[in-house]
Amino acid sequence: MMATSRFDLKTWIIAFLVFLQFTSLCANSDEAYCDKDTGACEENGTEQTEKDKYREVDPHWQKYLDKIHQAMENYKPCPNPDKKCSCHSSVITHDLKLWKDRGGITKEEFDRTLEQDKGTHYQIIDHKLYRQDRCMFPARCSGVEHFILEIIDDLPDMEMIINVRDWPQSPMYQREPRPVMSFSKTFNEHWDIMYPAWTFWEGGPAVWPLFPTGLGRWDLMRDSITKANEDWPWEKKEDKAFFRGSRTSAERDPLVLLSRAEPELVDAQYTKNQAWKSDKDTLGMPAATEIKLEDHCQYKYLFNFRGVAASFRYKHLFLCRSTVFHVGEGWLEFFYPALKPWVHYIPVSQDLKDVRELIEFAKANQGVAKEIAERGFQFIWDHLRQEDVQCYWKKLLKKYAKLLKFTPTRRKEYKQMKPKNR
């Protein structure tokens, strides 16, 4: 009886050790998923593992993890490679729908808009580009003209009014929409037709002393920032939020004030702009020194705020492979709608009431924050190349030309615009 008991005990111990070894191998396998309740392991459990990585966490953060999980379930990635810039095509469809529903753009509507000085008048006749003599911002017009001239041989005759001001020109509170193109708008407040901003080539905001003649070309900035980030892998980045910019509006104040109260959490400071006169213009403190976009890559969490309209800073931040915190959802550029909250960036309410908690969430869930950063980087790298910008221009202008219900007649006083030597 005693021998039998010893045998049973020995058998039980061996069986138990084998079980532990089996479950250990299963739990550590990249190709298996172990159910925490039944202990059963299944191969090829990648999808289940993806879902379960948002479980077994601090309940305080579960609401944000649920948002990420839901966003990822609903997200449909753009084709890659995407030679037809289909990732952004829905914006063209949206912006031109009004004019399609109205039966097109009449000569009377176009001339009335032109008389109201809503933008710069361009004509394309026989694959040549003509422009009225006056342009409010010559460098901005030059940035626009670069892209049109690159595709001029593929474009039909047309004429268009291109607004190079910061502010859109066809607000919905006016009864009659105006066929004007602008780089930025809000979907629910403006009828403007969005085009890729001049800043993809030249005419960006001057940032003294870093960019005295304007923010650099997008293709060159892409290379410069990504190269700089090679020195700052995620593990070496400083674990705090970061922002530098002028006090365009008081919307940015809560983050700057939080930085002053808790500098270990966030480094946010105001810099000078053209309107700066005293420390009062930087919220009662001396203006901070401008920081190169390449040097933003030292930080894990980067904040983006709108400026007068959409911010030119936004697209650059993703190149650092840092988590972008995007404040507010109103102001857009043509590529914004394809970027999804919780997939590519962390959304922050415009009043910043949730800003402290969101930063703490990212710090407490670094793996998740890093994944958002990687998805944001990859989207910008794959779908906001110079060829994507060029593709958007071509698709936009071709579809716009089909809506014109008149044949353009060249104005003799307009000068022909030709490519610049680069």
> Of 216, 266, 274, 267, nearest to 247 (Cα)?
274
Q: Supply the DSSP symbol for 278.
A: S
> Of 369, 371, 370, 344, nearest to 358 (Cα)?
369
Q: What is the 3-state secondary structure (H, E, C) of 162-231?
A: ECCCCCCCCECCCCCCCCEEECCECCCCECCEECCCHHHCCCCCCECCCECCCCCCHHHHHHHHHHHHCC
CA-based R_g, the chain, Å: 27
Write the single-letter amino acid at 185.
K
> Of 312, 314, 311, 309, nearest to 190 (Cα)?
309
Per the residue annotation, which of 52, 82, 166, 382 is the catalytic one? 166
CB neighbours of residue 268 within 10 Å: 25
CB neighbours of residue 57 within 10 Å: 14
- Sequence-separated (6 or more) residues with CB below 8 Å from residue 266: 240, 241, 242, 243, 255, 258, 259, 301, 359
Which residue stretches of 308-385 are H helix? 314-318, 355-364, 366-383
> Of 264, 268, 267, 272, nearest to 252 (Cα)?
268
Structure tokens at 393: 């221009």
User: Residues 207, 212, 215, CA angle at the centre, nearest 5°?
Assistant: 60
Question: Strand pairing partners for 246?
Answer: 271
Structure tokens at 209: 């002393």
Structure tokens at 413: 């006083």
Distance CA 65, CA 51 (A): 10
Distance CA 237, CA 232 (A): 6
Task: Answer yes or no: 166 catalytic.
Answer: yes
Q: Is the separation of the CB atoms in 243 and 252 below 8 Å?
A: yes
Q: Supply the DSSP symbol for 64.
A: H
Structure tokens at 111: 């001339």
Structure tokens at 107: 């000569």
Q: Active-site positions? A: 166
